[in-house]
Each structure stands twice: as structure tokens, then as C-alpha cells.
A and B are shown apart, each in its own frame.
Chain A
Amino acid sequence: MGTWRLYAAVAVSGFRRYATYRVATAAGVFTNTVFGLILAYTYIALWDERPGLGGYDQSQAVTYVWLGQGLLAAVAVLGGGFEEEMVERIRTGDIAIDLYRPVDLQMWWLAAEAGRAGFQLVGRGVVPMAFGGLVFHLALPADVGTWLAFLVAVVLGVLVSFAIRYIVALLAFWFMDGTGVQQLAVLAGIFFSGMTLPLNVFPGALGELARALPWSALIQAPADILLGERTGLGLLRTYVFQAAWAVGLLAVGRLVQSAATRRVVVQGG
């Protein structure tokens, strides 16, 4: 019981930590809005040319843009969550202190990340979405149920995103400089999360591959739910897909973690 209170406290402090960066948050909102505007117009041109592309109508496509911009920071497609800090602690050796604590390393970072994601969802999600709603006609659902179903998918997306980045961060135990791997992971995330283009627009086998990879759980899956493309059995299937990747990747993370921590040599002194 006490452990869960601790993780909750870590999550709350993660939330409050990011809440202090008000100017940075406002600047991030501004960036999301600018890119949302540019993308929305290109999508409109694209759907003008091919109505119904990828199973979306034009206002669904535009809604997808603003959803993507709103979710971007929460599911950390561009990185920038706990992993930089964790890699730094691995490099400096401070990770030894973390391992010495009577808490689970993975759960500790996950709790902090949950707090961060919660703040980013509200702090950087609402305003771009509202702006998008003012300038364009958005296809947003009116019923609370769809919004709740969407939020569940966002939580699962945050879990998958964390699980991927946790493994990437742990690689710093082997590579003295993990920048290269981190960079590759971010590139894969940008492309395969559906941030630049909805994955159902990707052609043929590339599309099938993109939709099967874990990154599709970050933006594509929650977006499809909010846009009303996943109901009933389809909704369940989406959850199972996201949860399976989350569980699988978290488990891999634990394996990598135990292999990594066996490498730790604490220097006395």
C-alpha cells in the first residue's frame, strides 16, 4: 500500500515539475499551433484531391492534425521526457543511487513520466485543439463515452511510449554515448506514430507494417477512437493491440534492466 502512495507522490511531483515551466509550455503550445495550421492546410489540399483518403473525410483528416499536435507532447513522440535525465544518471553513475533505493526503478520512472504526460496532455493539448476548432470545422464526438474511450487509449499510448524509451535509455549502459540510438528511435517514432501523415494513408505493405508497429499506439490508435472509427469489437481490438505492446515492451525493459544492472560497478570512496 505504501509503495503505491509513493508512486502517486512521484507522479504528482512529475506533474508539478512541468507545471512550473509556464513560459516554455506557452511556447510549446504556440509551436503546436503553428505546425497544426501548416499541416491542416496540406491535409485539406490532399483530401481535396482524394476525398475519403484512408477512410477519413476532410474534417476527420483536419481533426486528426489537431489531435496529433495535442497529443505530441503527452506521448513524447519527439522524446524529451525522462530518458535524457536517466541517460545522464547512467553516464554519471548516479543510477547506482537509484538502484539502491527500496523502489522499483522502472515503476519509479514510469510514475514520474505519468505525471509529466498528464500535465502535457492538459497544458499542451487543450489550446491547440481549441484553436483548431475555431479556425476549422472539426469532427469531434458529442458523447462522453467516446471521449472516455479515447482517454483510455491515450493512457495506453503513454505506456507504450514509455516502454520504448525505457529500453532505449537503458542502452546507455552499453553505449557510452547513446545519442545515435536515441536519435534513431525518435525518427522511427515521428514516422511510424502517424504524426506526419495518418498511417491509414500509407500505401500497401508499408501501411500494414506501420500499423502493426508499437508506435501506432501513440497517435493513430487514440485518434481513430476519437474519430469514431473504432467502436464495439474494433475498439476492443485496438485496446488489446496497445496493451499487448505495452506489456511486451515493459517486460523486455525489465529483462534489459536486469542485464544492465549486472554491469553496474559501484566505485567506493
Chain B
Amino acid sequence: MADVEERRDAYRGFEPVGGSRLVDGLRVYRLIAWMWIRSTMAYRASFAMTVFGNFAGTALDFATILLMFSRVDELGGYTLGEVAFLYGLSSTAFGLAELMLGSTDRLGQRVRDGTLDTLLVRPAPVLAQVAADRFALRRLGRITQGLLVLGYAFVVLDISWTPLKALLMPVMVVSGAAIFAAVFVAGAAFQFVAQDASQVQNSFTFGGTTLLQYPPTVFAKDLVRGVTFVLPLAFVNWVPALYVLDLPYPLDLPEWVAFLPPLVAAVCCALSGFAWRAGLRSYRSTGS
């Protein structure tokens, strides 16, 4: 049986000419995602139920925070409105990344059962195929929930808006989604090595968003340093959000770092792209 690399080369000729890999990938992603949306829409009632389930499931996180605040007025020195602000931002950014790339945690499964080979021989970028596979529109439930909590925070908080702060809001959400997207892709790359370890990927994705839902003052300094300088999740919301809220960041960072999220996101995406390519190159089919 031909080596996977060879098989992939054999199909290289069928790749559409002219378009860049990125454009090609996005087109493939759109086609596959659209196919899954149509298949989900065949059972509308079932779809509505799963969206509600997704919404309710993610709302439990915030319900827990509400329960905590039913017994206290502040958590780590933050009011409910401020925590809601952090929660809404983290949840929305994460929800966007999960909608786009949430299916990548099935990669280990595909490596184990050999179905990844099917994707490799198709003349389309593998990452786009893996990411769009079983595209789940029900994940809009989390985004909706995150936006509602963010809306609540806007109502109860008395933020002293400036044009810069207003501009930072959408930039923060998009960059945050890109940072989480990088984590999803890096996690998928890791599964080429550890095929049975999708839970490790979940620790960083779901664990990451849970961490960011609480104020940084709650956590040990070393943990905050870790998610600021090593795995820069803090740039999803903590760093820019505290600028908007006029609160000090627990590590002595200059104010301008609040505007770094786009740069951090770009670096993270580039690094996870390298990791993905390295993982894909190391892949040896089970041969079955």
C-alpha cells in the first residue's frame, strides 16, 4: 500500500490552480460546513432542542457564579457586574472559536480509526476538512449566552467610555476568538502524537475559558504569569477588559499592553499553524 505522503502527492495535481491555500481552505470549509448545516436542518425540532441544550448547559456556569454572589458581594475584589463582563467576553470569544474549530477534538478518534486517511487523499486542505467536519450550529447557544451576560454587564456597570475603549471591544472579541482558535489547532496537532488524549485539548480550551470567567486576582500570581507570558490566554479578556474597566492588572504591566491582543493572536495562530503542519507531517497511517 502506498505511503500516505505519496497518495497525497498523487492528488496534488487536482488542487485548484491559482487560489492560495488560505482561500482554498476557506472555500472547502464553507462547503463542508454548509453541508452539515443542511443535514442538521432536516430535523428542525431536534436542532432547536440542541441549541437550547447548548444554551442551558453553558448558562449553568453563570448560574454557579450567580449562586456564589447570592452569598457574597465581591469575589476577589470584583463585583458581579465586573465578573459578568469578564465572563461575557471570555464566553463569546470562546464560543466563536468553538463554533469554527470545535470539531478538531475528534482528530485523535480519526487517527485511531483510520478515517483521517480519507481526508488526506482528498484534494483539499486537511485542517479545513477536520475543522468543518460535523459543523455544529448548535454552538450558537454558547455565543448567545455569552452575549446576553455581556449585555447584562453593560447595563449594570458604569463604564466611562472613550472612543478607544469602544474600539477595543470588538477587537478584543475577534482577537480572543483567534487566540482560542490557535489553542484548538495546537490541541489538534498534539493529538497526532497522543491519539487518545482529547481531554488534554479540552483542559486548555474549556479550562481556559472557565479560568478567564473569574477575576485574575482570584488566582495565584504564578498561574496569572503563566497565562500571561507562556500561554497568553490573558489577552483574550483579562488584560484588555481591565483597561476598559479602569482596574489594575495584578502583574505590573504598562497600560499599552491592553492593545496587544491582535498581535498576540497573530503570533499564536502562526505558532499553532507550525505545530499543525509538524503534526500532520509526523502522521503515519494505521494502514488499515
User: Could you list which residues of chain A lie within 8 angstroms of chain B, going by C-beta atoms?
Assistant: 21-24, 26-28, 30-31, 34-35, 37-38, 41-42, 44-46, 49-50, 53, 177, 179-180, 183-184, 187, 190-191, 196-197, 201-203
Minimal Cβ-Cβ distance residue in A for B76:
A45
Q: Please count how many residues in chain B sit with their CB below 8 Å of the partner chain's CB atoms.
A: 39
User: B46-65 CB contact bits vs A (8 Å, 1 = yes)?
Assistant: 10011001001100110110
Option from A23, A38, A191, A202 in Cβ contact (under 8 Å) with B60: A191
Q: Once the chains bind, are A23 and B214 in contact (CB under 8 Å)?
A: no
Minimum Cβ distance to chain B for residue A180 (Å): 5
State in angstroms the CA–CA spacing of A46 and B57 once bound together.
23
**CB-based contact A23/B53 at 8 Å:** no
- In the complex, A208→B247 CA distance in Å? 38
Q: Is the CB of A30 within 8 A of B203?
A: yes
In whole angstroms, how far apart are the Cα atoms of A185 and B19 in the complex? 48
B68 within 8 A of A: yes
- Total residue contacts A-B, CB cutoff 8 A: 97
A26 to B195, CA, bound (A): 12
A44 to B214, CA, bound (A): 12
- Which of A37, A42, A180, A196 is close to B75, meaning CB atoms less than 8 Å apart? A42
Q: Give A28 to B207 CA distance when docked, in angstroms.
A: 13
15 A-B residue contacts at CB 8 Å?
A: A26-B197, A30-B199, A30-B200, A34-B204, A35-B203, A35-B207, A38-B210, A49-B72, A179-B46, A180-B53, A190-B60, A191-B63, A196-B64, A201-B71, A203-B67
B155 touches A (CB below 8 Å)? no
Q: Which of B60-107 contact A (CB under 8 A)?
A: 60-61, 63-64, 67-68, 70-76
B63 to chain A, nearest CB (A): 7
Given A23-B195, A45-B76, 10 other A-B contacts at CB below 8 A? A21-B196, A26-B197, A28-B199, A34-B204, A35-B203, A49-B72, A177-B46, A180-B49, A187-B57, A190-B60
| Whole-angstrom CA separation of A45 from B202 in the bound complex | 25
Q: Which residues of A contact B46 (CB under 8 A)?
A: 177, 179-180
- Of residues 131 through 190 on chain B, the ones whose CB sits less than 8 Å from some CB of chain A are none
For A203, give the chain B residue with the smallest CB separation. B70
Best-buried of A45, A180, A196, A203 by chain B (most CB within 10 Å): A45
Asked whether A31 lies within 8 Å of B67 as measured between CB atoms, the reply is no
> Binding site of A, secondary structure by majority: helix, strand, loop or mixed?
helix
CA distance A35 to B197 in the complex (A): 16
How far apart are the CA atoms of A190 and B220 in the complex, in Å? 26
- Residue B40 CB within 8 A of the other chain: no
- Which B residues are in CB contact (< 8 Å) with A203? 67, 70-71
Query: Which residue of A is nearest B212, CB measured?
Result: A38
Is B199 in contact with A31, judged by CB distance below 8 angstroms? yes
The residue of chain A having its C-beta at the shortest distance from the C-beta of B200 within the complex is A27
B33 interface contact, C-beta 8 A: no
CA distance in complex: A38, B46 (Å): 34
B194 within 8 A of A: yes
User: In the complex, are the beta carbons of B207 and A34 less than 8 A apart?
Assistant: yes
Q: Residues of B contacting A45 with CB < 8 Å?
A: 75-76, 214-215, 217-218
Give the CA-CA distance A191 to B198 in the complex, in Å.
24
Q: Which of A30, A31, A44, A197 has the most CB of B within 10 A?
A: A31
